[in-house]
Amino acid sequence: MSMLVGIIGAGPAGLLLGRLLHLAGIDAVVFESRGREHVEQRQRAGILEQATVDTLRRAGAADRLEREGLPHDGIDLVFDGSAHRVDFFDTTGSRVWIYAQTEVVKDLIALRIADDLPLLFDTPVSGVSDVDGRPVVHHGDRTLACDYVVGCDGFHGVARSLVPGTGFERSFPHSWLGIMAEAPPMHHELVYAHSPRGFALASMRSPSVSRMYLQVPNGTDPTHWPDDRIWAELTARFGDHRPNPGPITAKSVLPMRAWVSPTLRHGNLFLAGDAGHIVPPTGAKGLNLAAADVTLLAAAFTHLHDTGSLALLDAYSDTSLRRVWRAEQFSHFMTTTLHVAPDQTDFDTHLQLARLRQITTSRAAATSFAEEYTGIAAG
Ligand code: RFL
Ligand code: PHB
């Protein structure tokens, strides 16, 4: 059967969905409000779970990832001033990869352009009508009628507002000051630090580029954080580990929020990725949830295309939301265990430290932590 899917948004969710549908012989048009350069340069996530890497491999979109991605078998947790390693591979047989979201997006855009498939930059979608029948995508003064529309337009897009219900929300009393630095990573794996001065995270983008984050109060102005202050604060929070200062090339403050849509479907309009749910970044789940959503959706559209059965499409919202809530739970746990709340008591701090000691001394607790961090397979 012939089918046309309208995809709103060319972030990782929309681009990967377009690629998977193309491989299944299903036509799609991708609408993106911003220009190519903006979409390719936007700094965001850096960690890919095993299942995300597997999907990119199946999609034929992993050539550069195989060459440049950095596999990581564990992380360090710093607390009480000392580093403690959690080994993912030893406990679960799974690992994660460092490969920036910017690079995933560049690779998928290059493939779509090489295949000469419709990818409309600078084309904001203003709405979708007739969602109960053949949904119509509105852009500028033009329209496109589709069989299905998928909103992959992120938290600030239009699609999620078209789905009834207000969703479930949690805000957090902290933000992250994120920097990119021309400096070798502090350590060969990621380091998550609990300290009385607040949370800190040392990540990386390559063997010569560091990506680091500091917990700061909501509303922080990044201009109040000159480079020297940032390096001094990072040094104070990482205990045994010593950051390698270098030129800071980007500095920004990221607020933290969790939100989950009550459903990922309204008629023939579906939501995927940040359009349907966001997590605080502490668990590194946002990009991976987006990839998991579109893996499920592509399988559901393929099943419909090949067999005429709506069964997988009908199951999509419930199946995806089960995984989303599990990731919300982990991201909430990571955020509340590692950050210092403005009203935190000594009792709260002792509970955090007890939990961190449990993860780093009990193999059962470490295994459970590693399972959540490296992700559960799609389905
Ligand atoms: P995206 O990447 O937001 O892509 C949505 C795309 O839709 C476009 N768009 C529209 N297009 C057409 N018409 C409209 N009306 C449109 N409205 C919007 C946008 O321009 C954009 O290109 O969503 P997607 O694909 O679901 O991917 C999700 C991930 O981007 C996201 O979960 C993660 O990046 C979250 N996240 C992070 N996750 C981590 O694991 N680690 C991080 O360090 C991390 N940092 C971040 C982040 C998210 C951020 N945002 C969304 C504010 C840092 C930031 C700043
Ligand atoms: C990142 O590299 O940007 C990153 C890594 C791990 C996280 C969050 C962000 O938990």
pLDDT per position as a tens digit, 298-345: 999 999 999 999 999 999 999 999 999 999 999 999 999 999 999 999
* Sheet containing strand 190-193, strands side by side: 82-87, 74-79, 190-193, 200-206, 209-217, 168-181, 248-260, 277-278
Look at residue 253 and give its three-state secondary structure.
strand
Structural element, H or E, at residue 245: none
Whether ligand 1 lies within 6 angstroms of the CB of 31 is answered as yes
Q: Is the pLDDT of residue 106 over 90?
A: yes
Averaged pLDDT, 167-181 = 97
- State the distance from the centre of ligand 2 to the C-alpha of 281, rounded, in angstroms: 7
Contact present, 247 and 268 (Cβ < 8 Å): no
Averaged pLDDT, 190-198 = 98
Averaged pLDDT, 198-227 = 97
Closest atom of ligand 1 relative to the 275 alpha carbon: 26
Closest atom of ligand 2 relative to the 211 alpha carbon: 2
Q: Give residue-wise pLDDT tens across range 335-364.
A: 999 999 999 999 999 999 999 999 999 999
- State the distance from the centre of ligand 1 to the C-alpha of 154, rounded, in angstroms: 5
pLDDT at 378: 44
Picking from 63, 163, 52, 46, the residue whose alpha carbon sits closest to that of residue 111 is 63
Whether ligand 2 lies within 6 angstroms of the CB of 46 is answered as yes
Mean pLDDT of the chain: 96
Grade residue 1 by pLDDT with cuts at 50, 70 and 90. confident
Averaged pLDDT, 214-230 = 97
Question: Residue 17: CB partners within 8 Å, gap ≥ 6?
Answer: 5, 7, 28, 150, 152, 272, 294, 297, 298
Averaged pLDDT, 285-297 = 98
Residue nearest to atom 1 of ligand 2 (CA): 46
Picking from 333, 336, 326, 339, the residue whose alpha carbon sits closest to that of residue 288 is 326
Amino acid found at 304: L
Structural element, H or E, at residue 192: strand 190-193
Residue nearest to atom 15 of ligand 1 (CA): 125
pLDDT at 377: 57
* Cα–Cα dist 370/379, whole Å: 19
* Cα–Cα dist 155/259, whole Å: 9
Grade residue 11 by pLDDT with cuts at 50, 70 and 90. very high
Strands (E), 58-152: 70-72, 74-79, 82-87, 96-98, 119-120, 125-129, 136-139, 142-145, 148-151
- State the distance from the centre of ligand 2 to the C-alpha of 43, rounded, in angstroms: 11
Give Cα 81 distance to the centre of its chain: 29
Grade residue 2 by pLDDT with cuts at 50, 70 and 90. confident
Note the pTM of the prediction, 2 decimals.
0.97
- State the distance from the centre of ligand 1 to the C-alpha of 273, rounded, in angstroms: 8
Structural element, H or E, at residue 171: strand 168-181
Catalytic (active-site) positions: 72, 192, 281, 285, 373
Q: 134 versus 240: which is more confidently predicted?
A: 134
| Distances 225 to 63, 233, 334 between C-alpha atoms, Å | 39, 10, 25
Percent of the chain with pLDDT over 70: 99
Question: Residue 36: CB partners within 8 Å, gap ≥ 6?
Answer: 109, 121
Q: Give residue-wise pLDDT tens across range 59-97.
A: 999 999 999 999 999 999 999 999 999 999 999 999 999
